[in-house]
Amino acid sequence: MEERNEYTASFIKVLEGLEGVRKRPAMYIGSTGEEGLHHLLLEVVDNSIDEAMAGFCDRIVVTLHKDGRISVLDNGRGIPPDIHPKYGVSGIELALTRLHAGGKFEGKAYQVSGGLHGVGISVVNALSEHLIVEVYRDGKKYYQEFSRGKPLTRLKVSDDGEGKRGTYIEFKPDSEIFETVEFNPEKVKRRLLELSFLNKGLRIVFIDELSDRREEYFFEGGILSYLREIVKEKEPLFEPIYFNEDGEEYFFEFAFVYTKTQKGENLSFVNSIKTLEGGTHLSGFKSGLTKFLNEESKKFNILKEGESFVWDDVSDGLFSIINIRIREPQFEGQTKTKLGNTWVRKEVEKVVHHNLILILEKNPSLLKNILKRVEIAKRAREAARKAREVVRKKALFDETLPGKLADCSENDPKKSELFIVEGDSAGGSAKQGRDRVTQAILPLRGKILNAMKSSVAKLVENEEIKSIIASLGTGILEDFDITKLRYDKIIIMTDADVDGSHIKTLLLAFFWKYARELIEEGHIYVALPPLYRLKVGREVKYLYSDEELSKEMEKIREEGKRFMITRFKGLGEMNPDDLFNTTMDPKKRILKRVTILDAMRAEEIISILMGEKVEPRKRFIEDHALEVKDLDV
């Protein structure tokens, strides 16, 4: 095989030009919203990760700059700067200006890669207002600037690269393309932390200039360290199990553990790319583990004759990480969220089954504990199914709308919205101030049940939950049907205090567990009511934070004007006009669309604050005590 160290421009193969990227960006990055914006960064980072997986890079620095730029620096081999023999331009310019131009198509420069589509860096360039590339190779520094996919300068060469190697990409996303050009530091941090776990020995530095924060991630334990971090508050039943298989065409590694919690999580990765929709590697793991446990259950007489475990039983409380590296992965979709290579499923199933025999048959007590945990889940699943059959007619299929729902007159769900409001007082103001044609109001009394701890039977006996289910019209769990949704927007409207935040969190947890598709399809929103009404002369302003108030007060003091401030302690204190004008009027209001990350965070908070373990709750309160501005006692 040709030596991989001999990485030159001749390895870069061009399939087609950049046509259409700016016209149809969603085809390449999924969307032009926040997800697509972050996908740009991940494409650049993935190139550096590919260098790390090839063994040529052990340090990556990602910086969020104050002016909206973001940069990625690695100490890999650097994009080849020599002139391509066929196209007559440098490898740097070729990689940045031609779609499907990269060193990953023939397997010479890279054995495995996450960026196999070859569209990454050129698409980033096409969708950036400005992009700078610096390459350090052989004591030289190569520099070039681009704008919206086109070169602004020719490739400049200097002797400033002595003692350096690698690639530096700095870009500013194009505001003409994206709905937002502000990166979410927490989202970036989560992905970088994840990548550091997936690549043993790789050091990743994250610098956020906006908050003057610098963090460094380095984990020798790899996915085992990652799994321990995930389950540290979940009460694991044993030390996580880890095994791997290094073949000629692949590298597989697995880590898993059972916990006392009901809900588990199964993360899967291919060449350091997170496969959100799973794929053949995850399917192979599921079938391999299920097959093994069914075989062992017969040996221990765990199940009755004719019974067997299904994945819903096996996955209860199971946390696992599957990380594989293969040549030429085939992903379903441009954004690489599902692996499609058919041979992987069979190979993974065989590896999992074989290694579990080697590990667990030598530890029968651990094996029996796992089987008992899965058997309990099976019985609970069957009991829950029977309970649901009993309550379905009573609650889920009751099409009678709740009496306290003030429905709207519009029959088209796409033009209608439902406000779930905290308290009868706020509900009364909302009913009076609303647009009766398109806005429905459902007031809630007090806190709803905790969906993470309550059984389905208990949950649907709760009047508030029954009202929500009946108002939505979709049903829940396996009876959920999004085509029956009565409102396009479901808006949670609570007070801006501790109790309001608690109710909002409980509602998000309910939707996450029982009607997740509403979140996935973008139907759940949170209203942001104002904290203050500021009257200066005849002018009235509504302010949504203490920071906004401070800025306005500075202006008022400088101008010496008279003013009057009203602090809203709750929605119920606002008159109907104020409530509509600030929080309900589609032309003026501020709504926050709830994402999967928001819902997962709500579940995490509930697990910490309402779980049985005291220490995590104490630590959470101590960590967040200074964030509490107004505490009702």
Instruction: Please give the CATH topology (third level) of the domain spanning 397-529+578-627.
Output: Rossmann fold (3.40.50)
Burial 360-371 (b: 16+ CB within 10 A, else e): beeeeeebeebb
Q: Residue 211 in contact with residue 288, Cβ under 8 Å?
A: no
495 is catalytic: yes
User: Averaged over 531-549, what is the pLDDT?
Assistant: 88
**Would you state the pLDDT for residue 347?**
96
Query: Pick the catalytic residue: 265, 497, 552, 598?
Result: 497
Token pair for 99: 């779609």
**Would you state the pLDDT for residue 18?**
67
Which carries the bigger pLDDT value, residue 187 or residue 451?
187
Amino acid present at 489: K
Q: Residue 611 in contact with residue 263, Cβ under 8 Å?
A: no
Share of the chain above pLDDT 70, in %: 85
**Is pLDDT at 55 greater than 50 in this prediction?**
yes
**Would you state the pLDDT for residue 523?**
94
User: Averaged over 73-97, what is the pLDDT?
Assistant: 91
Structural domain boundaries in the chain:
9-217, 223-382, 397-529+578-627, 532-567
Query: Pick the catalytic residue: 50, 51, 422, 578?
Result: 422
**Is pLDDT at 294 greater than 90 in this prediction?**
yes
Query: Pick the catalytic residue: 51, 74, 174, 495?
Result: 495
User: Averaged over 450-479, what is the pLDDT?
Assistant: 82
Token pair for 370: 């796992």
Domain 9-217 CATH (choose: 3.30.565.10, 3.40.50.2300, 3.40.50.300, 1.20.1090.10): 3.30.565.10
**Would you state the pLDDT for residue 109?**
44
Instruction: Report residue 483's pLDDT band, with 50, 70 and 90 as the boundaries.
Output: very high
Burial 223-235 (b: 16+ CB within 10 A, else e): bbbbbeebbebbe
**Using CA atoms, how far apart are residues 230 and 221, in angstroms rounded to an integer?**
14
Instruction: Report residue 607's pLDDT band, with 50, 70 and 90 as the boundaries.
Output: low
Q: pLDDT tens-digit profile of 299-343?
A: 888 888 889 999 999 999 999 999 999 988 898 865 567 899 999
**Is pLDDT at 93 greater than 70 in this prediction?**
yes
Q: pLDDT tens-digit profile of 231-266?
A: 988 889 999 999 999 888 899 999 999 998 878 899
Amino acid present at 162: E
Contacts of 97 (CB under 8 A, 6+ apart): 18, 122, 125, 146, 149, 150, 151
Share of the chain above pLDDT 90, in %: 47
Long-range contacts of 584-589 (CB under 8 A, 24+ apart): 584/419, 584/430, 584/433, 584/434, 584/435, 584/439, 584/493, 584/527, 589/527, 589/528
Question: DSSP letter string over 52-120?
Answer: HHTTS--EEEEEE-TTS-EEEEE-SS----SBPTTT-SBHHHHHHHSTT-BS-SSSSS-SS-S-TTS-H
**Is pLDDT at 11 greater than 50 in this prediction?**
yes
422 is catalytic: yes
Q: How far is CA 363 from CA 291, 295, 301, 370, in A?
A: 18, 16, 17, 11
Q: Treating both helix axes as pointing N-terminal to C-terminal, what angle do 185-198 and 223-231 enclose, rounded to 10 degrees?
A: 130
499 is catalytic: yes
Instruction: Report residue 1's pLDDT band, with 50, 70 and 90 as the boundaries.
Output: very low
**Would you state the pLDDT for residue 5?**
62
Instruction: Report residue 620's pLDDT band, with 50, 70 and 90 as the boundaries.
Output: very low
User: Under CATH, to which class is 223-382 assigned?
Assistant: alpha beta
**Using CA atoms, how far apart are residues 164 and 141, in angstroms rounded to an integer?**
9
**Would you state the pLDDT for residue 12?**
61
**Would you state the pLDDT for residue 606?**
58
**Using CA atoms, how far apart are residues 274 and 277, in angstroms rounded to an integer?**
9
**Would you state the pLDDT for residue 499?**
82
**Would you state the pLDDT for residue 622?**
43
Query: Pick the catalytic residue: 245, 488, 499, 552?
Result: 499
Nearest to 528 by CA among 499, 497, 496: 496
**Would you state the pLDDT for residue 334?**
56
Angle at 622 between CA 617 and CA 624, to 5 degrees: 95
**Using CA atoms, how far apart are residues 93 and 102, in angstroms rounded to an integer?**
11
Average pLDDT over the chain, rounded to whole? 84
Other beta carbons within 10 Å of 141? 19
Instruction: Report residue 92's pLDDT band, with 50, 70 and 90 as the boundaries.
Output: very high
Other beta carbons within 10 Å of 394? 12
Distance of CA 341 to the CA centre of its chain: 24
Q: Which of 285-289, 400-404, 552-556 is modeled with the greatest confidence?
A: 285-289
Q: Which of 30-34, 271-275, 409-413 is modeled with the greatest confidence?
A: 409-413
**Using CA atoms, how far apart are residues 78 and 95, in angstroms rounded to an integer?**
12
Instruction: Report residue 117's pLDDT band, with 50, 70 and 90 as the boundaries.
Output: very low
Distance of CA 247 to the CA centre of its chain: 31
Tell me if the pTM is above 0.95.
Answer: no
**Using CA atoms, how far apart are residues 580 and 357, in angstroms rounded to an integer?**
64
- Rg value, the chain, Cα: 28
**Using CA atoms, how far apart are residues 495 and 244, in angstroms rounded to an integer?**
51
Distance of CA 552 to the CA centre of its chain: 36
Burial label, 321 (beta-carbon count in 10 A; 0-12, 13-18, 19+):
buried
